[in-house]
Amino acid sequence: MDDRDRRLLDLLRRDARQPIVGLAKALNLSRSATQERLAKLQSAGIIDGFTIREGSRAGALQSAYLMVSFESGYRCAQVVPKLQEIPSIGLIHSVTGPIDLVIRIDADDVAGIEASRSAIAAVPGVATVSTSVVLDRHLG
């Protein structure tokens, strides 16, 4: 991956619906060269998919990050499939250190955050859940 690939990813993070022509112009590349780079990033798994946000509601979403620890003897393979069934979860990452997972949830309001947090805490194998509510978004 070179600097233009990184710039392309940055442009897509900011607006994944940009037309190829606009991306090409921002990268100072031809349309076909930009499409080729995009295809390579997709085939390499660097771009795994595209996400939508529904209308102006997206700006009003409340988000939180939850740090989750498992009960002794539980592993990601046992817990994550149950978590993936909770619709408010936007991402799940397994991490190193004293916690096992970092989860982002998106809800309409703080009550929705709490409902999602309760659903996560009720999943078998989840021992503790620590919540940090997002105050402001600066990128992404």
The answer to whether residues 98 and 91 touch, using CB atoms and an 8 Å cutoff, is no
What is d(CA 112, CA 68) in angstroms, rounded to the nearest whole number?
Answer: 18
Write out the two tokens for 12: 């897509």
What is d(CA 43, CA 39) in angstroms, rounded to the nearest whole number?
Answer: 6
- What percent of the chain is predicted at pLDDT more than 90? 61
Closest CA to 62 of 18, 19, 101, 113: 113
Higher-confidence residue of 75 and 62: namely 75
**Residue range 16-33: mean pLDDT, rounded:** 92
Report the amino acid identity of residue 75. R
Whether residue 3 is predicted with pLDDT greater than 90 in this model: the reply is no
Question: What local confidence, expressed as pLDDT, does residue 81 receive?
Answer: 96
Ordered domains of the chain (ranges, CATH)? 3-43 (1.10.10), 57-133 (3.30.70.920)
- To the nearest whole number, what is the mean pLDDT of the chain? 88
pLDDT in tens, 91-138: 999 999 999 999 999 888 899 999 999 999 999 999 999 999 999 877
Prediction pTM value:
0.62
What is d(CA 86, CA 78) in angstroms, rounded to the nearest whole number?
Answer: 15
